[in-house]
Structure 1
Amino acid sequence: MNYHTISDLVAESIEGSLVTAAFFSTFSFEPDFFELEIMPLLLSQKSEQGQATYQPALSTNDAIRWQQLERLMAQRHFDISVVYDPTVYRCERSPRLEVAYHGYSPRKGCQHAKLITMVLESPDEDVSDKAVLFGTGSFNLTRAGWWDNIECGHFVKLTDEWAPNNLCTSILEALTFYQQVTANRDIALEKVIAAIDALPKSADEEQIEFYFGRGDKSFSDFISQQREYTELEVVSPYFSESGENNEISHFLNQFESRRILLPIDPRDDSRAKVSEDIYKELKVQGVQWCGWRNNVTQKLKEKEIPRELHAKVYRMSALEGIDLFIGSVNFSYKAFKENIEAGFLIKNCGQDKLLADKSIIASFFDDIQGEKHGDIVNEHGGLPVLNLSYCWKEKTLTINSVLDWQHSIKLMNDANEELASIQKLNNSAQPQVSLMTERLEQHLKNTSLVIAISFDHEQQEVRRELILSQQNVFARPSVLPPLSLTDLLGIFRGMSTSKVLQITEHYAKLSELALMYSSNEDLSDQLQAESQNFFSEFSEINSAFYHLNMTLSQARQENDQRTLDYYLLGKQPDSLHGALHLLTTEQKHSQDIDPVIRYLSLVSIQGTLEQLGEFGGDLATLVRVEISQLEKSNQLQLTDGKDDPAYNAKFFTWFKREFLNSAQFETSGEKA
């Protein structure tokens, strides 16, 4: 066994690759941690040479970091989704990124499996092969799960050379289950499943087997089908509510020697984190409670920081060899029989013993809360989990859930104002949805959390907090102030990712959002005033829009609708709407831009729209109006001194034609 944080393990597994789709499942869930700390691992960028990757440097200020992540996802979009158990998720701060979030709780037990799967591509465009990284273990999508706890996990990488048929079949079975849970609408899952399907399958891998339990097969039966074991070692943070249940007894009876780690409180070595009743009941059944072996203890205490045990490991010895199960399965009835659980059985691994031979005992015992470990006793009642997504581009609210509910549902904000209403749900049809679009969008600019309210069959009010996923967030109004023309044209020219992130950080510091959330960064007066640095040479505008037009033309040829939508429909500062917002005469910041520079920039936007055939849209109309107003104003003075409106109109018509023709070529001595 190797020792890492889960974060290190994932970073090491995807190093040198670009993630093009990703799916996660978890029990406990912290969306803000996921977006701020896990998402950056997936957003590696292609190096300038195009054959390697690097991790962009991001701000430590959370509000700024979110803005930088939005920018990275806009530059290299891929689909990401998460399935979590909504009975235990903790959302201290609302998620903001374009991730599909699906809450799911089975009728019995809980969604306890922790899966990670990603489609990986080489940054080298000459290498077309794809790989699929797949991992499972004990780690939740939380700070504790990825950084702090003692956790376990195992990863495999499926490639053109190694994609064992038995592993692919069992992994696809699990992913297909989640696809059904998400009403077959999850694009990330579709891409992962398609990538695995496309791999040429190799012979079965006899040394590893994937387990996925969803209440249809017992973990005890899965182990008993492997081979005849004699010795058992168990590492688990949680145990069955009773040590006398038949499922646990059946499992223990497969082994002659049964040793279980006594989970000692890392802050009080006289206290065991297990109830005294369970301790005694399992001891009666022949269990020997032990501590870690010395070499394992030394590994786990390298940093001298108390760490909570959350790993679930089963080491099993037989005459033929030693097998190791690593996964999400606690030593409990719910985990064995009812929960959705997952793990890898690694055969003949030669793993040394984990537990000491000598028994230990504690002076004090603590009961552990079962709901924190997937041991939920009661079946779920109340309002069912709704998985909702709002599309900023289409302005539609979609329900991605398969369920029946015979009452209308209202979505509310914290001020008890209605955001949307949903007719009763029926599996056979998409329900009718009524939106208060302006109020809903104003709400979603600040938070993805909504409150769903309805009535049960006894006419009692039921409510639930929900995460509302957001799609096409490039069309969501930005919290950043307008860019300077210098920075805007620099981005159009193809500014490097690191420079774009620096600019994003600068403008985010100027925004009210950063001031609201920042608690430890000194925002000096200098950052409160936007620098006024504008181009004085026309060639800079020509060159910037030349590069932008090349980008959009390539996007159209490659049917890259997302890039086209970002620039034509998006509301971000570096979209064409953002550029128009910067240049419009009603805006205070535009008054400091030289009228000629503003005019040339507006004409360039018009030329870009015409080149793409976008003549009749709202953006094209707004640009024409702004150009017309500027031409009729006294801000543009012709140097020949003529003051004839007819002559001026002819001049502007001629000038726009010639200027737009010149914008089709590189200037300033660069190639045509």
Structure 2
Amino acid sequence: MSNLPRSVLSEHFLERMKGRRLVSAVFTTFRFEPGFFEAEVLPVFFDIALSHAPAIKLVQLEEALVSLPGSIAVYYDAHGLVAEGGTAKLDTRRIPIRHPTGIFHPKNVLALVEDVEPGPDGKHGRTLLCACASANLTRAGWWENVEAAHVEEIAEGAHSPLRTSLLRYLDALVAAAEGRRVNDELRATHRAIRDLREFLRGTTQRQETFADVRILPSFHAGEASLPDFLEDATGKLLRGLCLEVISPYFDEGGESAPLKELLTRFAPRETRVFLPRNDRGEALCSEPLFTWLSELPEVSWGTLPSDLLRLGKSEEARQRTVHAKVYRFFEPKRRGREFIFVGSPNLTTAAFRLTGRGGNWETGFLVEVTSESRPDWWLETETRRPPVFSPREETEGAATDGGTQLMLRYHWDTQAAFAFWADATPSPSLSVRHGGVSLLELSSLAPRTWVPLAVEQAQRLETTLHSTSLLEVVGEGPQPGFLLVQEEGMFKRPTLLLDLSAADILRYWALLTVEQRAAFIEARANITGDDDPLITRLAPLPVEATLFDRFAGIFHAFECLDKHVRDALAQKRSREADYRLFGKKYDSLGSLLERVLKDSRAGKGERVDHYVVTLCAKQLLRELGRTAPEYWAEHRDDVRALEAQLVEAAPLREALASGNTEMPAFLDWFERWFIQRAEALPEEEQS
């Protein structure tokens, strides 16, 4: 028996990310654990040292996301939320999909990355990592199950066979999320997809020709039945080869229509189908299906190697669930062609789309494998009849009966909330709850329209979002449904953890790298609570008079902030500028001014230091308003809020001027020259 390809999914992506940094990413999944995704999946795509303390780790990831050039979005089945995995807290978009004829079942990672080091032309080359997998964005999918995945890479400006199908797929995601036809204006609202489409439009489509030695990789976007896709991609090349099928789910009943279709269409010489079992050894299919398949000519049940199925190295280790979906056509022990389809479709009628337009939404890659060794079977034949049969449905574990057509969206920047009823008819009266307590009572909502909530309702929702974005909906069906609130304008969301001093904020601005900032956060975090009595890795740093507590440090910190913001705007990373200037994070300009005002009222610190900080802020706002007028106009209200804080700081000047008759005139002169930015001398005068 040949060696099965084995790799840990997260380690595989870590290897792919070496020497690269993330730009934008789109994830798709059926089942979704938002807390696990943020804490364990996202870190795979950021090459920074993270704390083992969950709370500090989230703050470090929050900082890494601020510096991300693009966006991250997760598209998930609206009935697939897993509440036990924890809530979502970071600035990623979470978008539910409702597939009208089945389940939204793709498991994709589409990550746009760029080289850390520039090339000879000074540019950072970009690549699109395209993965089709069987793993959901859950703890079981990434850590426990036996899963399968394949990753293709598309280089910048490449001649790729995947271009057209990926562009269609991205458009289909937007259309499904919005419930209407796609146009450029609608695409722009899905920022991560917009970034990926812009990259793909810079590539060209490579067409299959008879001159090609190998079949080019093909992406199945779920538009056609799986057998049609396989035949269209390979012609007659699959006929007569041996077939191996790994699938954890089957149709109910005594026969498998998808398997019959594969046998009829491709006439495999021999076929083996994986027999899934639970940890008690019970077969996870019906007894009539087991008997029917066992009696087919040249078809047998199979099993995977026992060491692959153990969750650990010991013989007593718990058995892993096989969740992989693989269709493999090959010539055993011969040097010949080998074709593998890897993705999300189970061996079910809904996954194969055998009933016309109905069925699930599935995706996968078909690739031709080349190897120096002669391929052999992955599955050993299984002739023992299981003593017990425990068939299960493809949607097992999903909240299908307790799903909801309700969506909620909260805008942190405007403090406005909206409700959307996704069905074609008006909603019943609904109660949105958290912890058994009513949060929102909604009367009948108009269909497929975003309806603004009352101010009081928006305020209650905001208060709840400080602790969780996972809510319960009662009144729609016999069981409560889960929803994940969609959060926009996250730069205005209050910080997750830290409350830094003014000096620490200035120090933080002056740090050069993401790694330095991550270490700084871990050193400063001081968390108390029931679960984490004290989880700082390092002892708190001593408070002492340093460069950053006096003028030179203040000037340097503001210069670094100014450079960060200008670079972000120049590179079209306006979200980072939003966070740095107008956000509610621990290190934003607004947070610094708030801290200075608070310390001043409490009599803490030097008044002259506070005064100089406010002058630096005035200078920064003036210069940015002059050099980035369009951005400034877009954030007129945010600018006014900062200016209001500076007006509130006016007593600082009055306190300095009191008691000295000459001081007011001096401060007038000082401020006039201070606010003006100094111009560099011409080179001939710099001597």
Same-fold call, TM cutoff 0.5: yes
Once the two structures are superposed, residues 603-659 of structure 1 have per-residue CA deviations (whole angstroms, 9 ceiling, x without a partner) of 222222233348971221221222x212333xx488xxx643xx4322322233344
Q: 1:518 aligns with which of 523, 527, 532?
A: 532
| Residue of structure 1 equivalent to 2:224 | 217
Distance 2:386 2:258 in 1: 29
Q: Deviations over 1:15-43 (max 9, x none)?
A: 22222111111112211111111111223
Residues 393 and 569 of structure 1 are in contact (CA less than 8 Å); yes or no, is this contact kept in structure 2? no
Work out whether 1:339 is the aligned partner of 2:387: no
Please report how far the alpha carbon of residue 68 of structure 1 lies from its aligned counterpart in structure 2 after TM superposition.
Answer: 0.9
C-alpha displacement at 1:539, in angstroms? Answer: 1.7
Q: Larger deviation: 464-473 or 652-661?
A: 652-661
Report the Cα distance in structure 1 between the residues aligned to 2:313 and 2:215, rounded to whole angstroms: 33
- Which amino acid counterpart does residue 28 of structure 2 have in structure 1? S
State which of 49, 54, 70 in structure 2 corresponds to 1:57.
Answer: 49
Q: Using the TM superposition, give the Cα deviation of residue 179 of structure 1 relative to its aligned residue in structure 2, in angstroms.
A: 1.8
> How many angstroms apart in 2 are the aligned matches of 1:525 and 1:60?
12
The residue that corresponds to 1:353 in the other structure is: 376
Going from structure 1 to structure 2, the CA distance change for 1:371 and 1:358 (only over 3 Å counts) comes to closer
> 1:105 corresponds to which letter in structure 2?
R
CA distance 1:522–1:192, shift in 2 (3 Å): closer
The equivalent of 1:147 in structure 2 is 143
Structure 1 unmatched runs, 5+: 44-54
Partner of residue 329, structure 2: 316
Match of 1:49 in 2: none
CA distance in 1, matches of 2:387, 2:409: 48
Query: 1:114 and 2:121 equivalent?
Result: no
Instruction: Rate the CA distance shift 1:373–1:332 in 2: closer, same or farther, 3 A.
Output: farther
- Structure 2 residue aligned with 1:655: 670
* 2:197 counterpart of 1:186: no
Please list the CA deviations of residues 430-484 of structure 1 after superposition, one character each: whole Å capped at 9, or x if unmatched. 44443433322222122112334555xxxx7885321112233221122434313
Task: State the match for 2:653 in structure 1.
Answer: 631
Contact 2:110 2:129 (8 Å CA) reproduced: yes
Q: Following the alignment from structure 2 to structure 1, what is the Cα–Cα distance between the partners of residues 228 and 623?
A: 65
1:41 aligned residue: 44
1:399/1:303 Cα in 2 relative to 1: closer, same or farther (>3 Å)? farther
CA distance 1:543–1:409, change in 2 (3 Å): same
Deviation of 1:106 after TM superposition, in Å, equals: 1.9
Conservation of the 8 A alpha-carbon contact between 1:133 and 1:158: yes
Q: Distance in 2 between matches of 1:97 and 1:90?
A: 17
Answer whether contact 1:334 1:375 (CA < 8 A) is retained: no
SS in structure 1 at match of 2:83: coil
Give the letter aligned to residue 122 of structure 1.
Answer: D
One-letter code of the match for 1:496? T
How far off its partner does 1:59 sit?
Answer: 0.8
Q: 1:105 to 1:29 in 2, by over 3 A?
A: same
The whole-number CA distance in structure 1 between the counterparts of 2:293 and 2:597 is: 75
Tell whether 2:493 aligns with 1:480: no
Paired amino acid for 2:414: E
Question: Can you give the 5+ residue segments of structure 2 that lack an aligned partner in the other structure?
Answer: 179-185, 354-358, 626-631
Which position in structure 2 is the counterpart of 1:207?
Answer: 215
One-letter amino acid of the structure 2 residue matched with residue 113 of structure 1: P
Shift of 1:533: 5.1
CA distance in 2, matches of 1:526, 1:494: 20
2 CA distance for matches of 1:242 and 1:69? 48
State which of 609, 612, 625 in structure 2 corresponds to 1:600.
Answer: 612
The structure 2 residue matched to 1:620, chosen from 640, 643, 658, is 643
State the alpha-carbon separation in 2 of the partners of residues 434 and 137 from structure 1.
Answer: 42
CA contact (8 A) 1:492 1:548 kept: yes
In structure 2, the partner of 1:89 is 81
SS in structure 2 of the partner of residue 140 of structure 1: coil
1:135 aligned counterpart, secondary structure: strand
RMSD of aligned Cα (Å) = 3.6
Contact 1:18/1:42, CA 8 A, preserved across alignment? yes
Taking structure 1 as reference, are residues 606 and 246 closer, same or farther at Cα in structure 2, changes over 3 Å only? closer
Letter of the 2:139 partner, please give it: R
SS in 2 for 1:544: helix
The equivalent of 1:257 in structure 2 is 270
Tell me, what secondary structure is at the counterpart of 2:244? Answer: strand
Give distance in 1, aligned partners of 2:470 and 2:678.
45
SS of the residue corresponding to residue 340 of structure 1 reads coil
Q: 1:109 to 1:601 in 2, by over 3 A?
A: same
In 2, distance between residues paired with 1:246 and 1:201?
35
Distance 2:417 2:140 in 1: 33
Distance 2:407 2:484 in 1: 8
Instruction: Work out the CA distance in 1 between the residues paired with 2:680 and 2:473.
Output: 55
**Whole-angstrom distance in 2 between the partners of 1:264 and 1:658:** 78
Instruction: Check whether the contact 2:242–2:330 (CA below 8 A) recurs between aligned residues.
Output: yes
Structure 2 vs 1, CA of residues 496 and 218 (structure 1 numbering), >3 Å: closer, same or farther? closer
User: 1:451 aligned to 2:451?
Assistant: no
Look up the match of 1:390. 410
2:629 — aligned with what? none
Q: Is the 8 A contact 2:282 2:390 kept in 1?
A: no
- The verdict on how the C-alpha distance between 1:620 and 1:63 changes in structure 2, with shifts beyond 3 A counting, is same
CA distance in 1, matches of 2:542, 2:77: 45
Q: Are the counterparts in 1 of residues 283 and 390 from structure 2 also a CA contact under 8 Å?
A: no
Q: 1:248–1:195: structure 2 CA closer, same or farther, 3 Å change rule?
A: same
Deviation for aligned residue 1:277: 3.2
Higher mean C-alpha displacement, 135-144 vs 73-82:
73-82
The CA deviation at 1:107 is: 2.6
For the residue of structure 1 that corresponds to 2:594, the secondary structure is helix
Q: Could you tell me how far 1:224 is from its partner in structure 2?
A: 5.2
How many Å separate the matches in 1 of 2:600 and 2:69?
31
Aligned residues: 628
The C-alpha deviation readout for 1:305-353, integer Å capped at 9, x for no partner, is 5432111222224797332222222222232222212222223646723
Amino acid at match of 2:104: Q
Partner of 1:404: 424
- Tell me if structure 1 keeps the 8 A contact 2:81–2:398: no
Residue 381 of structure 1 and its aligned partner are, at CA, apart by 7.3
Distance 1:401 1:19, change over 3 A: farther
1:98 to 55, 77, 91: 91
Cα separation, partners in 2 of 1:369 and 1:560, compared to 1, 3 Å: same
Q: Deviations over 1:496-537 (max 9, x none)?
A: 3222112222343x245xx35437x6569965x984656453
Q: CA 1:238–1:365 in 2, change beyond 3 Å: closer, same or farther?
A: farther
Q: Give yes or no for the alignment of 1:2 onto 2:19.
A: no
Q: Please point out which of 361, 382, 393 is paired with 1:370.
A: 393
Counterpart position of 2:506: 489
Which moves more between the two structures, 440-449 or 60-69? Answer: 440-449
Question: What is the distance in 2 between the residues matched to 1:450 and 1:217?
Answer: 36
Which letter does structure 2 place at the counterpart of 1:389? R
* Equivalent residue letter for 2:176: V
Kindly provide the amino acid, as one letter, of the partner of residue 239 in structure 1. Answer: F
* Structure 2 residue matching 1:21: 3-state secondary structure: strand
Q: Deviations over 1:193-221 (max 9, x none)?
A: 2211221333437524435364x633244
Change over 3 Å in CA distance of 1:146–1:394 after alignment to 2: same
How far apart, CA to CA, are the structure 2 residues paired with 1:556 and 1:649? 38
Name the amino acid aligned to 2:375.
D
